[in-house]
Chains A and B, each alone.
Chain A
């Protein structure tokens, strides 16, 4: 009895300490967001008041209105969608077709090709940065969307790994039965396996979209004209301007990340699965 009581108390203390430390970490992660949100609702005058205070004295959404009235933001969003979406869908399709072949078709080159793919993942990308620019310059592709879109169409290597893993979990008999009924290999993929792999494809689409939406380096390197800028470049341009309108910069940042946050909150399951699996396969 007494032992039990003591045990119980100790368990509660451990639990409380756990919660306390976790709360500290959450605060650490959230603090920059809270500071930015707070600043975005202040007036320009108030935003530069020292010391910083969390609750705005004069709560205003002016900064948001200003940002949303800026045409550049909307054009940036549109440009981002144009650059990211079409190649993404094609890329997921080619990735899953390739993953299906590696998983469900026994062809002689399978092993060699898969090993090559594995090795390419270990190659450092820095080596291609400089010559790729030279090639795109030669082709006249600088300041166009081609360098951002075309490589994506061929599919992502990590995406292929993930989807192959998923296909491996589906029974081979499904494909064999469909083949006996006269479906071609491509038909088997389209009608049998692709529909079954829908959850995996959705998970990869989400990760792909977030990656594309957040991509800064590629657009920064290849795009020069402001009317072709993606959303990231537009916000970056705003934040590095000389007028230092802090609430406006913060509002633009919030507006930029809100779609991703909504995306994340509603699709959390897919995020977690997609990432957990990519790690476990190693």
Chain B
């Protein structure tokens, strides 16, 4: 009797152990695939990249590598003037586009709250560029800013101003791409802000307005703090993307624009590895460059997260 009881306990324990093991195996195996993908297609290449960054390669062949120590890194900081230029360009681009996009999206989301009809239609229109590829939008903007046939130069004519070769002039090329980016990303921010505003508890606002708070005061003291997680997300994700963006630059201004005024950090990496600079620099140099760029992006992201504590409010 006693023994039998013990046995059942033992058996049920074993059964439970088997159940647990099955659960653990199932969970781990099912959850594994994105991690395998990351390991194969990101982690392994990153290790290889670190190795390559200490070597010189004249071809794409990994076995044709000559180890040169820190020479690539030293070259980046001492002789590569394009590197510093590309950092500056990337930051100008990232700061302007992210700020403009965030402020405009917030403004439009506020305006959308204040209207009675057509809310859906307007946000649908503003979102359209988001589903269009970089090729499509670049064809459009190149056409608008074309020196000979562009609409903008017609407007300049009408105003009696001289025609400008927008995409081939140092002072304007970056501006055109910034405008294109803000235009293309407005809808994204608007959707996020609209969703965030919908989640704001109306009773706070009503209470404040009964107490006599002005519209502006309500915005800055209640609404803006309440959507601050969305603002933070837009800024951080915006920076991570903008600091690394270059496909639009490549299509709009091949090779980095007039006097490299639109050469971004990643564009410089691309040019060193695959572009016309490949003959001078090669894959080893490009790898070293990509690590420096990666570290800059990570540091900047970390700085954003550090600043987050100062102004983002997660209590809704």
Render A75-119 as a binary contact track against B, CB cut-off 8 A, 1 for contact: 000000000000000000011011011100111111001101100
Instruction: List A residues 22-40 near B (Cβ within 8 Å).
Output: 22, 25-26, 28-33, 35-36, 39
- Interface size range of chain B in the complex: 35 or more
Binds A, one of B1-9, B126-134, B206-214, B255-263: B126-134
* Interfacial chain B residues near A15, Cβ < 8 Å: 114-116
Q: Give A154 to B61 CA distance when docked, in angstroms.
A: 27
Which of A66-74, A120-128, A197-205 lines the interface with chain B?
A120-128
Interface flag for B14 (CB, 8 Å): no
B294 touching A124, Cβ below 8 Å = yes
Whole-angstrom distance between the Cβ of B15 and the nearest chain A Cβ: 14
- List CB contacts (< 8 Å) of B30-78 with chain A: 30-38, 40-42, 44-46, 48-49, 52, 60-62
Contact residues in A for B33 (Cβ distance below 8 Å): 94-95, 97-98, 154-155
A155 touches B149 (CB 8 A): no
B140 within 8 A of A: yes
Residue B141, interface by CB 8 Å: yes
A263 interface residue (CB < 8 Å to B): yes
Interface centre among A30, A130, A265, A282 (most CB of B within 10 A): A130
A271-B127 contact given A33-B140, A137-B61, A250-B139, CB 8 Å threshold: yes
User: Which chain A residues lie closer than 8 Å to B195 at the CB level?
Assistant: 272, 276, 279-280
Name the contact of B229 in the complex, choosing from A95, A105, A265, A282 (C-beta under 8 A): A282
Docked pose: A198 CA to B46 CA in angstroms? 35
> Are B244 and A126 in contact, CB atoms less than 8 angstroms apart?
yes
Q: Check B244–A134 contact: CB distance below 8 A.
A: no
Q: Which of B28, B112, B233, B291 contacts A107 (CB 8 A)?
A: B28
Does A156 count as interface, using CB distance less than 8 angstroms?
A: yes
Known A-B contacts A15-B116, A124-B244, A256-B133; A22 and B141 likewise in contact (beta carbons under 8 Å): no
A145 in the interface, Cβ–Cβ < 8 Å?
A: no
Check A260/B132 contact, CB under 8 A, given A125-B244, A131-B49, A154-B33.
yes
Pair A22/B122 contact, Cβ less than 8 Å:
yes
| A114, B31: Cα distance in complex, Å | 9
Q: Which residues of A contact B30 (CB under 8 A)?
A: 97-98, 100-101, 105, 185-186, 189
**Contact, CB under 8 Å: A214 / B48:** no
Majority-rule SS of A interface residues = helix
Q: Nearest CB to that of A53 among chain B residues?
A: B154
Which of B42, B125, B134 touches A123 (beta carbons < 8 Å)?
B42
**Cα(A261)–Cα(B124), bound, Å:** 11
Distance of A22 Cα from B104 Cα, bound (Å):
11
Task: Let me know if B37 and A127 touch, CB within 8 A.
Answer: no
Contact indicator B35/A117 (Cβ below 8 Å): yes
A50 close to B (CB within 8 Å): yes
Given contacts A18-B114, A101-B30, contact A279 B126 (CB under 8 A): no
Q: Are A279 and B230 in contact (CB under 8 A)?
A: yes
Are A51 and B128 closer than 8 Å at their CB atoms? no
Residues of B near A117 (CB, < 8 A) are 34-35, 38
B269 surroundings in chain A (CB, below 8 A): 126, 129-130
Residues on A with C-beta less than 8 A from B42 are: 120, 123, 125, 128
* Contact in complex: A134, B62 (CB < 8 Å): yes
* Contact A257:B136 (CB < 8 A) given known A94-B33, A127-B291, A275-B191: yes
Residues of B contacting A125 in the complex (Cβ-Cβ under 8 angstroms): 42, 244
Asked if B181 lies at the interface with its beta carbon under 8 angstroms from chain A, I say no
Within 8 A of A (CB), among B265-302: 265-266, 269-270, 273-274, 283, 286-287, 290-291, 293-294, 297-298, 301
Among candidates A14, A30, A113, residue contacting B35 with C-beta atoms closer than 8 Å: A113
A-B contact pairs, 8 of them (CB 8 A): A32-B137, A105-B31, A109-B28, A125-B42, A134-B61, A154-B33, A213-B133, A215-B133
